[in-house]
Every structure is written in structure tokens, then in C-alpha cells.
């Protein structure tokens, strides 16, 4: 296995506040990596930097040997990195299938985009089946439930055909059943993709994670498999200490 994503010496500063303070992180091809950490640890900021939304003050992010820092968002997507957001953003006025079709079409030349879509492409059909929204394909995305929207987002991600998927809290706000289905979806996707997941939900983590990285105050605190990380006293300190503060 070779390293797909290599982050070295990353620093991000917001108005004097160091959101990320020197992170090194390596994710290998085919890995399913969970990122956890208390609020303000820098998880989302890290993903923002990888996807070009936030510019780092220092450091490098290399993806399959290509430096990502300085590229615009859509260029990074075109290199093969896809992401979701904490609050799902799907295009409510477009139908489910149109949402997926757009996600699958960005490699088409502009002239081809000017033609009307005829039928459903194989990529889109496969994505529809994976996320289980085939029955709702022609409905506008605006009528979907919260969980269905999250799945649609994941489906759009699959349709993009990326090499690396970044999921930001995919099960937040979901019912128990929905979490279950999302977990299965995740396992399914992880078979043939490299995935990084930000997640708070410990139970979800225990069930589906293998490799975990714990962030704290902008640095990597611990890295390892689930059991090792959970047993680590520093991790307990960070989470418990935090909760003690909150209670006070």
C-alpha cells in the first residue's frame, strides 16, 4: 500500500487563532480513516484545507504526489477528491437523478453539457442503487428527508468517481435506523475507495472504524486502531476533561 494523501507541517491561522498547529498525517490507498476530536480540534478545518476551501499559513498537502495547496476547489475535485458537508447541501429544485447526473458529468466537455440528458447513465444508476433512492429518482431533492439527503450527498460523491472521499459527520442528526444504513453504505463504499470520515458518534465509530486519528487543539494527539485509541489515557483525558469543563 502506498500513501495517497500526505500532509506535512500544516498550520492554519484565523485572525491570530491557530486552528491547526502543525499536523502531519498520512492516509494510504484504500484506507478507511476516522478523524475524531472534541469541538475546535481542527477536524473540519483540516478537510477544508485539503479541499481548497481554506488556505493554510504553512505546510503542504500532497495527493498522489500532487501539491494541493493553492489549487481552487473545483480543480481539487477534478484531481479526484470529493467531500460532503456537515449540513447537507443538495440542489432542492433538481430531481434526485439530476443531482447525481450533475455530479457524474463534470468530466464532460462543455459542448457536451449543452445537450439534454437522455435517460440515466450507468454511473448514476449504480449510485442510485447504492444509496437506495431508485424509487425517488424523479422527485425533486427538496422533498427528501434529512437522512435521504445525506445519502444523496454520498451518492453524488460516488457518482463523481473520486479516489478519496471526505465525509464530514455523515450520521449527525440521523435516526438509529438511518445510522445503520449509513454504516452499511460506508462499508460498501470503503471496499473500493479511500475514505476519511469525521465523526462524533462513538458507537458508530466502534462499529465501523478501523484506523482512527484523534485531533486536539490543532495537533494530532493519537493515531491507531479503535481499541488502542479508546484505551489511550490522553484521549480519555481530552474527552473527559472537556466534559468536566463543560459541566462546570
Sites of contact with another protein (CB under 8 A): 14-15, 44, 51, 53, 72-74, 77-78, 82-83, 85, 87, 89, 91-94, 98, 101-103, 105-108, 110, 112-117, 138-140, 142, 156, 160
Q: Closest approach of Cβ 164 to another protein, in Å?
A: 13
Q: Closest approach of Cβ 111 to another protein, in Å?
A: 10
Identify which of residues 15 and 246 has a Cβ nearer to another protein in the complex. Answer: 15
Q: Closest approach of Cβ 200 to another protein, in Å?
A: 17
Contact by Cβ (8 Å): 5, 27: yes
Q: Closest approach of Cβ 53 to another protein, in Å?
A: 8
As a whole number of Å, the end-to-end CA separation of the chain is 46
Identify which of residues 103 and 235 has a Cβ nearer to another protein in the complex. Answer: 103
Instruction: Give the distance from CA 55 to its chain's centroid.
Output: 18
| Secondary structure (3-state) at 32 | strand
Q: Closest approach of Cβ 110 to another protein, in Å?
A: 8
Residue 33, φ and ψ in degrees, nearest 5:
-110, 130
Identify which of residues 162 and 235 has a Cβ nearer to another protein in the complex. Answer: 162
Cα angle at 8 between 41 and 225, to 5 degrees? 60
Identify which of residues 138 and 188 has a Cβ nearer to another protein in the complex. Answer: 138
In order of 68, 156, 175, the CA distances from 219 in angstroms are 20, 31, 32
Identify which of residues 1 and 112 has a Cβ nearer to another protein in the complex. Answer: 112
CA nearest neighbour of 181 among 144, 147, 229: 147
Amino acid at each position: 500500500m502506498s500513501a495517497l494523501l500526505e500532509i506535512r507541517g500544516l498550520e492554519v491561522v484565523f485572525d491570530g487563532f491557530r486552528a491547526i498547529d502543525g499536523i502531519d498525517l498520512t492516509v494510504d490507498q484504500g484506507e478507511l480513516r476516522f478523524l475524531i476530536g472534541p469541538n475546535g480540534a481542527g477536524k473540519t478545518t483540516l478537510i477544508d484545507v485539503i479541499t481548497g476551501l481554506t488556505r493554510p499559513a504553512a505546510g503542504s498537502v500532497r495527493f498522489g504526489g500532487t501539491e494541493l495547496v493553492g489549487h481552487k476547489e473545483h480543480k481539487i475535485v477534478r484531481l479526484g477528491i470529493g467531500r460532503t458537508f456537515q449540513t447537507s447541501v443538495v440542489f432542492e429544485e433538481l430531481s434526485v437523478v439530476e443531482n447525481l447526473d450533475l455530479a457524474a458529468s463534470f468530466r464532460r466537455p462543455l459542448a457536451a453539457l449543452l445537450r439534454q440528458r437522455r435517460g440515466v447513465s450507468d454511473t448514476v444508476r449504480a449510485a442510485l442503487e447504492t444509496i437506495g433512492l431508485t424509487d425517488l429518482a424523479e422527485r425533486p431533492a427538496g422533498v427528501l428527508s434529512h437522512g435521504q439527503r445525506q445519502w444523496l450527498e454520498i451518492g453524488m460523491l460516488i457518482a463523481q468517481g473520486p479516489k478519496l472521499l471526505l465525509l464530514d459527520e455523515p450520521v449527525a442528526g440521523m435516526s438509529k435506523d438511518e445510522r445503520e444504513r449509513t454504516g452499511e453504505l460506508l462499508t460498501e463504499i470503503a471496499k473500493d475507495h479511500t475514505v476519511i470520515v469525521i465523526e462524533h458518534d462513538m458507537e458508530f465509530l466502534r462499529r465501523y472504524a478501523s484506523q482512527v486519528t484523534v485531533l486536539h487543539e490543532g495537533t494530532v494527539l493519537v493515531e491507531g486502531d479503535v481499541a488502542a485509541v479508546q484505551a489511550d489515557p490522553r484521549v480519555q483525558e481530552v474527552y473527559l476533561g472537556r466534559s468536566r469543563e463543560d459541566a462546570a
